[in-house]
Structure 1
Amino acid sequence: MPRTTRRTDTPPPRTRSSETETLRGFLDYLRASVAAKVDGAPEPQVRTAAVQSGTNLLGLINHLTFVERAMFLGDDVTDWQATFQAASDDTVPDVVARYRAVVEQANKVLDGCTDLGEPVPRPRPGRPAPSVRWALTHMIEETGRHAGHADILRELIDGTTGR
Protein backbone atom coordinates (compact mmCIF):
# COMPACT_ATOMS: atom_id res chain seq x y z
CA MET A 1 0.00 0.00 0.00
CA PRO A 2 1.45 3.41 -0.96
CA ARG A 3 2.24 5.87 1.78
CA THR A 4 -0.44 8.54 2.10
CA THR A 5 0.55 12.07 1.13
CA ARG A 6 -1.90 14.63 2.39
CA ARG A 7 -2.39 17.76 0.33
CA THR A 8 -3.91 20.83 1.88
CA ASP A 9 -7.63 20.83 1.26
CA THR A 10 -8.98 23.80 -0.62
CA PRO A 11 -12.29 24.90 0.87
CA PRO A 12 -15.32 25.55 -1.33
CA PRO A 13 -15.34 28.99 -2.91
CA ARG A 14 -16.78 32.04 -1.23
CA THR A 15 -19.01 33.42 -3.93
CA ARG A 16 -21.02 36.56 -4.24
CA SER A 17 -24.75 36.47 -3.82
CA SER A 18 -25.96 36.03 -7.38
CA GLU A 19 -27.04 32.65 -8.64
CA THR A 20 -24.74 32.93 -11.66
CA GLU A 21 -21.68 33.74 -9.55
CA THR A 22 -22.46 30.89 -7.17
CA LEU A 23 -22.93 28.30 -9.92
CA ARG A 24 -19.87 29.43 -11.88
CA GLY A 25 -17.77 29.63 -8.71
CA PHE A 26 -18.55 26.06 -7.72
CA LEU A 27 -18.03 24.75 -11.26
CA ASP A 28 -14.63 26.45 -11.52
CA TYR A 29 -13.70 25.11 -8.08
CA LEU A 30 -14.48 21.55 -9.19
CA ARG A 31 -12.71 22.00 -12.52
CA ALA A 32 -9.53 23.10 -10.72
CA SER A 33 -9.83 20.19 -8.26
CA VAL A 34 -10.06 17.62 -11.06
CA ALA A 35 -7.11 19.08 -12.97
CA ALA A 36 -5.01 19.12 -9.79
CA LYS A 37 -5.62 15.40 -9.22
CA VAL A 38 -3.14 14.45 -11.95
CA ASP A 39 -0.44 16.86 -10.79
CA GLY A 40 2.61 14.71 -10.10
CA ALA A 41 0.80 11.44 -10.78
CA PRO A 42 3.22 8.86 -12.20
CA GLU A 43 3.07 7.20 -15.61
CA PRO A 44 1.78 4.67 -16.49
CA GLN A 45 -0.47 4.53 -13.40
CA VAL A 46 -2.22 7.77 -14.36
CA ARG A 47 -3.70 5.96 -17.38
CA THR A 48 -3.96 2.47 -15.92
CA ALA A 49 -7.35 1.20 -14.82
CA ALA A 50 -7.43 0.89 -11.05
CA VAL A 51 -11.00 -0.38 -10.82
CA GLN A 52 -13.05 -3.07 -12.54
CA SER A 53 -14.86 -0.58 -14.80
CA GLY A 54 -11.60 0.40 -16.49
CA THR A 55 -11.74 3.97 -15.22
CA ASN A 56 -8.40 5.75 -15.00
CA LEU A 57 -7.34 9.17 -13.83
CA LEU A 58 -6.22 10.60 -17.16
CA GLY A 59 -9.31 9.21 -18.87
CA LEU A 60 -11.58 11.07 -16.43
CA ILE A 61 -10.06 14.40 -17.41
CA ASN A 62 -10.24 13.47 -21.08
CA HIS A 63 -13.94 12.60 -20.62
CA LEU A 64 -14.69 15.88 -18.84
CA THR A 65 -13.08 17.74 -21.73
CA PHE A 66 -15.59 16.14 -24.09
CA VAL A 67 -18.50 16.84 -21.73
CA GLU A 68 -17.56 20.54 -21.52
CA ARG A 69 -17.27 20.71 -25.32
CA ALA A 70 -20.65 19.05 -25.79
CA MET A 71 -22.46 21.10 -23.15
CA PHE A 72 -21.11 24.58 -23.82
CA LEU A 73 -19.54 24.47 -27.30
CA GLY A 74 -22.13 22.31 -29.08
CA ASP A 75 -19.84 19.41 -30.05
CA ASP A 76 -21.57 16.16 -30.90
CA VAL A 77 -20.03 13.10 -29.23
CA THR A 78 -20.98 9.79 -30.81
CA ASP A 79 -19.08 7.42 -28.48
CA TRP A 80 -19.10 8.57 -24.87
CA GLN A 81 -17.40 5.41 -23.63
CA ALA A 82 -14.38 6.15 -25.84
CA THR A 83 -13.92 9.53 -24.16
CA PHE A 84 -12.83 7.78 -20.95
CA GLN A 85 -9.47 6.90 -22.51
CA ALA A 86 -6.71 9.33 -23.41
CA ALA A 87 -4.68 8.59 -26.53
CA SER A 88 -1.59 6.47 -25.86
CA ASP A 89 0.72 9.29 -26.92
CA ASP A 90 -1.04 11.93 -24.79
CA THR A 91 0.95 13.15 -21.82
CA VAL A 92 -0.54 14.42 -18.58
CA PRO A 93 0.33 18.02 -19.56
CA ASP A 94 -1.34 17.48 -22.98
CA VAL A 95 -4.62 16.28 -21.48
CA VAL A 96 -4.67 18.93 -18.74
CA ALA A 97 -3.85 21.71 -21.24
CA ARG A 98 -6.70 20.57 -23.51
CA TYR A 99 -9.08 20.49 -20.55
CA ARG A 100 -8.08 23.96 -19.39
CA ALA A 101 -8.35 25.34 -22.95
CA VAL A 102 -11.88 23.95 -23.31
CA VAL A 103 -12.84 25.32 -19.89
CA GLU A 104 -11.58 28.74 -21.01
CA GLN A 105 -13.64 28.51 -24.22
CA ALA A 106 -16.70 27.38 -22.26
CA ASN A 107 -16.28 30.26 -19.81
CA LYS A 108 -16.14 32.74 -22.70
CA VAL A 109 -19.45 31.35 -23.94
CA LEU A 110 -20.89 31.57 -20.42
CA ASP A 111 -19.64 35.14 -20.04
CA GLY A 112 -22.10 36.11 -22.76
CA CYS A 113 -25.05 34.52 -20.97
CA THR A 114 -26.95 37.05 -18.92
CA ASP A 115 -30.11 35.05 -18.23
CA LEU A 116 -29.79 31.58 -16.68
CA GLY A 117 -33.24 30.70 -18.03
CA GLU A 118 -32.18 31.17 -21.64
CA PRO A 119 -30.98 28.18 -23.69
CA VAL A 120 -27.26 27.52 -24.01
CA PRO A 121 -26.07 29.42 -27.08
CA ARG A 122 -24.47 26.44 -28.80
CA PRO A 123 -26.69 23.38 -28.41
CA ARG A 124 -25.66 20.02 -29.83
CA PRO A 125 -27.08 19.37 -33.30
CA GLY A 126 -30.53 17.80 -33.33
CA ARG A 127 -31.11 18.21 -29.60
CA PRO A 128 -33.16 20.75 -27.70
CA ALA A 129 -30.96 23.30 -25.95
CA PRO A 130 -31.07 23.11 -22.16
CA SER A 131 -31.16 26.30 -20.14
CA VAL A 132 -27.86 27.78 -19.02
CA ARG A 133 -28.98 27.07 -15.42
CA TRP A 134 -29.54 23.39 -16.21
CA ALA A 135 -26.22 23.15 -18.07
CA LEU A 136 -24.27 24.71 -15.19
CA THR A 137 -26.02 22.52 -12.63
CA HIS A 138 -25.40 19.41 -14.73
CA MET A 139 -21.71 20.29 -15.14
CA ILE A 140 -21.35 20.80 -11.38
CA GLU A 141 -22.88 17.35 -10.84
CA GLU A 142 -20.84 15.71 -13.60
CA THR A 143 -17.55 17.29 -12.58
CA GLY A 144 -18.18 16.69 -8.87
CA ARG A 145 -19.00 13.03 -9.44
CA HIS A 146 -15.82 12.51 -11.45
CA ALA A 147 -13.79 14.55 -8.95
CA GLY A 148 -14.80 11.95 -6.36
CA HIS A 149 -13.70 9.17 -8.69
CA ALA A 150 -10.42 11.01 -9.24
CA ASP A 151 -9.88 11.31 -5.48
CA ILE A 152 -10.14 7.55 -5.08
CA LEU A 153 -8.04 6.74 -8.15
CA ARG A 154 -5.24 9.09 -7.08
CA GLU A 155 -5.17 7.61 -3.59
CA LEU A 156 -4.96 4.10 -5.10
CA ILE A 157 -2.05 5.21 -7.30
CA ASP A 158 0.27 6.75 -4.75
CA GLY A 159 -1.64 7.51 -1.57
CA THR A 160 -2.11 11.21 -2.31
CA THR A 161 -5.27 12.65 -0.78
CA GLY A 162 -6.85 16.10 -0.48
CA ARG A 163 -7.90 18.75 -2.94
Structure 2
Amino acid sequence: MPTASRRTDAPPPRTANNEPDVLRGFLDYLRVSIAAKVEGAAEPGARTAAVPSGTNLLGLLSHLIAVESATFLGERVTDWQATFRPAARDSVADVVARYRETVDRANKVLDTCTDLGEPLRRPGRPGPAPSVRWALTHMIEETGRHAGHADILRELLDGGTGR
Protein backbone atom coordinates (compact mmCIF):
# COMPACT_ATOMS: atom_id res chain seq x y z
CA MET A 1 0.00 0.00 0.00
CA PRO A 2 1.39 3.46 -0.86
CA THR A 3 2.53 5.64 1.98
CA ALA A 4 0.73 8.91 2.59
CA SER A 5 2.59 12.07 1.73
CA ARG A 6 2.17 15.63 2.95
CA ARG A 7 -0.87 17.39 1.48
CA THR A 8 -0.16 20.31 -0.79
CA ASP A 9 -3.62 21.79 -1.20
CA ALA A 10 -4.06 25.03 -3.05
CA PRO A 11 -7.12 27.10 -2.14
CA PRO A 12 -9.63 28.12 -4.80
CA PRO A 13 -8.54 31.13 -6.83
CA ARG A 14 -9.36 34.68 -5.79
CA THR A 15 -10.53 36.33 -8.95
CA ALA A 16 -12.20 39.58 -9.85
CA ASN A 17 -15.96 39.56 -9.40
CA ASN A 18 -16.86 39.66 -13.08
CA GLU A 19 -18.10 36.49 -14.73
CA PRO A 20 -15.34 36.03 -17.33
CA ASP A 21 -12.58 36.31 -14.72
CA VAL A 22 -14.35 33.93 -12.33
CA LEU A 23 -14.94 31.29 -15.03
CA ARG A 24 -11.45 31.52 -16.47
CA GLY A 25 -9.89 31.66 -13.00
CA PHE A 26 -11.57 28.44 -11.90
CA LEU A 27 -10.82 26.69 -15.18
CA ASP A 28 -7.14 27.62 -14.98
CA TYR A 29 -7.04 26.52 -11.32
CA LEU A 30 -8.37 23.09 -12.29
CA ARG A 31 -6.03 22.85 -15.28
CA VAL A 32 -3.01 23.53 -13.07
CA SER A 33 -4.31 21.04 -10.48
CA ILE A 34 -4.68 18.12 -12.87
CA ALA A 35 -1.35 18.77 -14.61
CA ALA A 36 0.37 18.83 -11.21
CA LYS A 37 -1.42 15.62 -10.22
CA VAL A 38 -0.07 13.77 -13.28
CA GLU A 39 3.36 15.44 -13.42
CA GLY A 40 6.05 13.33 -11.82
CA ALA A 41 3.96 10.18 -11.60
CA ALA A 42 6.17 7.15 -12.10
CA GLU A 43 5.95 4.89 -15.13
CA PRO A 44 4.40 2.40 -15.65
CA GLY A 45 1.98 3.29 -12.84
CA ALA A 46 0.85 6.48 -14.57
CA ARG A 47 -0.62 4.42 -17.40
CA THR A 48 -1.72 1.42 -15.37
CA ALA A 49 -5.42 1.06 -14.66
CA ALA A 50 -6.18 1.13 -10.95
CA VAL A 51 -9.93 0.62 -11.39
CA PRO A 52 -12.00 -1.87 -13.44
CA SER A 53 -12.96 0.79 -16.02
CA GLY A 54 -9.32 1.02 -17.13
CA THR A 55 -8.93 4.66 -16.09
CA ASN A 56 -5.34 5.80 -15.58
CA LEU A 57 -3.56 9.11 -15.00
CA LEU A 58 -2.09 9.51 -18.48
CA GLY A 59 -5.37 8.53 -20.07
CA LEU A 60 -7.24 11.22 -18.15
CA LEU A 61 -4.84 13.93 -19.26
CA SER A 62 -4.82 12.62 -22.85
CA HIS A 63 -8.61 12.81 -22.84
CA LEU A 64 -8.55 16.39 -21.54
CA ILE A 65 -6.17 17.35 -24.35
CA ALA A 66 -8.80 16.11 -26.81
CA VAL A 67 -11.66 17.88 -25.01
CA GLU A 68 -9.78 21.20 -24.87
CA SER A 69 -8.84 20.81 -28.54
CA ALA A 70 -12.38 20.01 -29.62
CA THR A 71 -14.04 22.65 -27.45
CA PHE A 72 -11.77 25.63 -27.98
CA LEU A 73 -9.70 24.84 -31.07
CA GLY A 74 -12.33 23.27 -33.30
CA GLU A 75 -10.57 19.94 -33.72
CA ARG A 76 -12.72 16.93 -34.51
CA VAL A 77 -12.70 13.80 -32.38
CA THR A 78 -14.11 10.66 -33.97
CA ASP A 79 -13.53 8.19 -31.12
CA TRP A 80 -13.85 9.67 -27.63
CA GLN A 81 -13.03 6.37 -25.91
CA ALA A 82 -9.70 6.27 -27.74
CA THR A 83 -8.76 9.62 -26.21
CA PHE A 84 -8.40 7.87 -22.85
CA ARG A 85 -5.57 5.69 -24.22
CA PRO A 86 -2.22 7.47 -24.47
CA ALA A 87 0.24 6.27 -27.09
CA ALA A 88 2.79 3.77 -25.81
CA ARG A 89 5.62 6.12 -26.84
CA ASP A 90 4.22 9.02 -24.75
CA SER A 91 5.99 9.63 -21.47
CA VAL A 92 4.42 11.40 -18.52
CA ALA A 93 6.47 14.49 -19.38
CA ASP A 94 5.30 14.35 -23.02
CA VAL A 95 1.61 14.22 -22.11
CA VAL A 96 1.89 16.95 -19.46
CA ALA A 97 3.77 19.20 -21.91
CA ARG A 98 1.19 18.56 -24.65
CA TYR A 99 -1.63 19.35 -22.20
CA ARG A 100 -0.02 22.63 -21.17
CA GLU A 101 0.59 23.56 -24.81
CA THR A 102 -3.05 22.81 -25.66
CA VAL A 103 -4.21 24.93 -22.71
CA ASP A 104 -2.00 27.80 -23.90
CA ARG A 105 -3.51 27.56 -27.39
CA ALA A 106 -7.04 27.42 -25.95
CA ASN A 107 -6.35 30.47 -23.78
CA LYS A 108 -5.22 32.42 -26.83
CA VAL A 109 -8.60 31.72 -28.40
CA LEU A 110 -10.40 32.71 -25.19
CA ASP A 111 -8.38 35.93 -25.00
CA THR A 112 -10.14 37.05 -28.20
CA CYS A 113 -13.62 36.40 -26.80
CA THR A 114 -15.19 39.53 -25.35
CA ASP A 115 -18.82 38.40 -24.91
CA LEU A 116 -19.63 35.21 -23.02
CA GLY A 117 -22.96 34.95 -24.82
CA GLU A 118 -21.48 34.92 -28.30
CA PRO A 119 -20.82 31.66 -30.15
CA LEU A 120 -17.32 30.34 -29.64
CA ARG A 121 -15.29 30.69 -32.83
CA ARG A 122 -14.21 27.21 -33.88
CA PRO A 123 -12.77 27.22 -37.39
CA GLY A 124 -13.24 23.96 -39.23
CA ARG A 125 -16.21 22.76 -37.17
CA PRO A 126 -19.58 22.64 -38.93
CA GLY A 127 -22.85 23.33 -37.20
CA PRO A 128 -23.80 25.75 -34.47
CA ALA A 129 -21.13 26.59 -31.94
CA PRO A 130 -21.82 26.75 -28.21
CA SER A 131 -21.55 30.06 -26.42
CA VAL A 132 -18.25 30.96 -24.80
CA ARG A 133 -20.04 30.76 -21.42
CA TRP A 134 -21.23 27.20 -22.14
CA ALA A 135 -17.77 26.13 -23.33
CA LEU A 136 -16.07 27.52 -20.21
CA THR A 137 -18.65 25.94 -17.90
CA HIS A 138 -18.35 22.61 -19.70
CA MET A 139 -14.56 22.65 -19.41
CA ILE A 140 -14.77 23.50 -15.69
CA GLU A 141 -17.09 20.51 -15.20
CA GLU A 142 -15.02 18.18 -17.38
CA THR A 143 -11.66 19.18 -15.90
CA GLY A 144 -12.98 19.14 -12.33
CA ARG A 145 -14.49 15.69 -12.77
CA HIS A 146 -11.29 14.22 -14.14
CA ALA A 147 -9.11 16.07 -11.63
CA GLY A 148 -11.09 14.26 -8.93
CA HIS A 149 -10.45 10.95 -10.67
CA ALA A 150 -6.76 11.84 -10.87
CA ASP A 151 -6.68 12.64 -7.14
CA ILE A 152 -7.83 9.12 -6.34
CA LEU A 153 -5.59 7.41 -8.90
CA ARG A 154 -2.48 9.30 -7.74
CA GLU A 155 -3.17 8.44 -4.11
CA LEU A 156 -3.58 4.78 -5.05
CA LEU A 157 -0.38 4.93 -7.11
CA ASP A 158 2.05 6.48 -4.66
CA GLY A 159 0.15 8.07 -1.79
CA GLY A 160 0.26 11.58 -3.27
CA THR A 161 -2.59 13.78 -2.09
CA GLY A 162 -3.60 17.40 -2.39
CA ARG A 163 -4.18 19.68 -5.35
With normalisation by structure 2, the TM-score equals 0.97
Alignment of 1:50-65 (within 5 A): 50-65=50-65
**Matches of 2:38 and 2:108 in 1, distance apart?**
25
Matched, 1:122 2:122: yes
In structure 2, how many angstroms separate the alpha carbons of the residues matched to 1:73 and 1:10?
29
> Is the CA contact (8 Å cut-off) linking 1:27 and 1:136 kept in structure 2?
yes
Q: Which runs of 5+ in 2 are unaligned?
A: none
Match of 2:126, SS?
coil
Question: Which runs of 4 or more aligned residues in structure 1 lie more than 4 Å from their structure 2 counterparts after TM superposition?
Answer: none
Contact 2:40 2:92 in 1 (8 A): no
The aligned runs of 1:1-163 (5 Å cut-off) are: 1-122=1-122, 125-163=125-163
Is there any run of 5+ residues in structure 1 with no aligned partner, and where?
Answer: none
> Per the alignment, do residues 49 and 124 of structure 1 end up closer, same or farther by CA in structure 2, a change over 3 Å counting?
farther
* Aligned residue-pair number: 163
CA shift, 1:123, in A, is 6.0
**TM-score, normalization: structure 1?**
0.97
CA distance in 2: counterparts of 1:137 and 1:46, whole angstroms: 28
**CA 1:124 to 1:10, structure 2 compared with 1: closer, same or farther past 3 Å?**
farther
Contact 2:39 / 2:96 at 8 angstroms: preserved in 1? Answer: no
User: How big is the shift at 1:124?
Assistant: 6.2
Q: Percent of aligned positions with the same letter in both sequences?
A: 73
